[in-house]
Amino acid sequence: MPSKPISGHKPVTSGNIERMAKTPQPYTLADGKTRWRVYYRKTRADGSIGQTNQGFEDYESAERWAKLIDKIGIEEALKVLPSWQTDKPVTPDLRTFALEHIDLLTGVGEDYRRRSRRVIENDLGVLGELPIDAIGEDEIAKWISRLSDAGAAGKTIKNKHGLLSAIFKRAVRKKIISANPCEGSRIPKSVRTEMTILTPDEFRSFLTCFTPHWQPLVAFLFGSGLRFSEATALNVGDIDLEGKRVSVTKAWKNNGRTLGAPKTERSRRQVSISEETLAAILPLVKGRAPSELLFTNQRGDKVRSQTFHDNAWDPAVRLANGEDAQKAGAKRIARRRDAQGNIIKPLDVPIRKRPRVHDARHSHASWLLGARVPINYVQAQLGHESIQTTVDRYGHLMPDAGLAISAALSGVMGEPKAIEG
């Protein structure tokens, strides 16, 4: 139908896409009705750039699409356009819907909400600007690829994808969309950092590289298999001296700033410890109030992960490998002394391994499997939600597994018999 610009308004004919997209231009139809155009530039098939426009029945839709061009570019905005040219109600963009979803969650802590909001604000990129009903499997696949290309680990991508999937599930329940575009996504696998497992003898040598203040915590990490965040959250009352058990009900979250529930439901558990581990922490239990933190720093405050790494763990790793405790070029030299007041010297026989704090947990699991503790018991001790996690992580450490399989099959199948005929 013929139309003409409304008096006083001229189509924008110069400038870049961002400038052109900011102000929808009104025009009138022959019947006197007002419509709105958004002018933009687009690359033609021959490579040249030409101006074109898109019409809308109302100013609100035109302005919303113009702003979308500013945020995600014309090519992506054009893909969204067909979903807008229907009689369906306008749907919110993913970022808006996601933040509403997080606010309405029940049964989660504020720490989880804060982390989830951070994912939405920092990691959605272009995806967050799209209307939720304009996002399909292809858009999710591109988003996963962007995270992977940026260096995100497979586990990190899986966690963020899980949050997104929950958001889309809610959109399905509310009948905003008919299907969850996250279903069937392929998440890239991480290349796992190799575990550094200490033998019991190596552990005993390594332990001598710590000052007396830190030795109980280190002995406990290796002897219990607790995560660092779980061990440093323990209270004196969590230790059952008679039962030789530890009650794990909490862990530090948000880089040690808040105290919350352990990592998973199965992480709430009773952990058995040996007489030797119990003896190492006994001085920290006797005569202290049940509500006091079991492990503290040298000022009596909670143990912070980074401080422990820098001031205790890393120097001990260097000493265990025959090196000076201080980093080369360190301005401040701290003399670490043993229980007799002697300076702790580098080991004469280095262990030639550089364990991380979490390797104490790996070493613990290895020792249990080496002693032929059933793997489901190891799962319970470590607090893994699924036994598959335990099998995937530590199954290769099970001793003589190949021989046991071979013997079992031999027993079932028996001696081979000649086939008659």
Work out the widest C-alpha separation in the chain, in whole angstroms.
Answer: 102
pLDDT of 9 over the 70 cut: no
Q: What's residue 235's pLDDT?
A: 98
Range with the lowest mean pLDDT among 10-24, 47-61, 381-395?
Answer: 10-24
Query: CA–CA separation, 388 vs 6, rounded Å?
Result: 68
Read off the pLDDT of residues 52-96 as tens digits, 9 standing for 90 and up: 788 878 787 777 777 777 766 777 777 767 665 555 566 788 999
Judged against a pLDDT cut of 60, whether residue 352 lies above it is answered with: yes
What pLDDT, on the 0 to 100 scale, is given for residue 15? 39
Residue 263 clears pLDDT 60, i.e. is over it: yes
CA distances from 177 to 133, 172, 182, 338 (A): 6, 5, 12, 65
Give the percent of the chain with pLDDT over 70.
Answer: 82
CA atoms of 210 and 300, how far apart (whole Å): 18
Strand 34-43 versus strand 25-29 pairing type: antiparallel
* Mean predicted confidence (pLDDT) in 271-294: 96
Q: What Cα–Cα distance (Å) separates residue 194 from each residue in 103, 153, 172, 197, 218? A: 38, 15, 41, 9, 21
Where residue 17 falls among pLDDT bands split at 50, 70, 90? very low
> Which tens digit of pLDDT belongs to each residue from 97-125?
999 999 999 888 888 898 899 899 888 87
Which of 125-139, 198-212, 273-287 comes out lowest in average pLDDT? 125-139
- Cβ atoms of 363 and 223 within 8 Å: the answer is no
Q: Could you tell me the end-to-end alpha-carbon distance of the chain, in angstroms, rounded to an integer? A: 89
Mean predicted confidence (pLDDT) in 256-278: 88
* Per-residue pLDDT tens digits for 307-336: 899 899 999 999 999 999 887 666 566 678
User: What pLDDT sits at residue 133?
Assistant: 84
3-class DSSP state for residue 399?
coil
For residues 334-358, give the mean pLDDT: 92
pLDDT in tens, 161-180: 999 999 999 999 999 999 99
- Please tell me what DSSP assigns to residue 152: -
* pLDDT at 388 (0 to 100): 84
Average pLDDT over residues 224-252: 96
Report the alpha-carbon distance of residue 198 to residue 219 in Å, rounded: 13
* Mean pLDDT calculated for residue range 296-311: 92
Question: So what's the pLDDT on residue 116?
Answer: 92
pLDDT of 354 > 80? The answer is: yes
Asked if residue 20 lies in contact with residue 40, where contact means CB atoms within 8 angstroms, the answer is yes
Contact 204, 215 (CB under 8 A): no
Higher pLDDT, 409 or 121: 121
What class is the 200-355 domain?
Answer: mainly alpha
Q: Are 91 and 103 in contact (CB under 8 A)?
A: no
Q: In this model, does residue 212 exceed pLDDT 70? A: yes
Distance (Å, whole) CA 67 – CA 76: 12
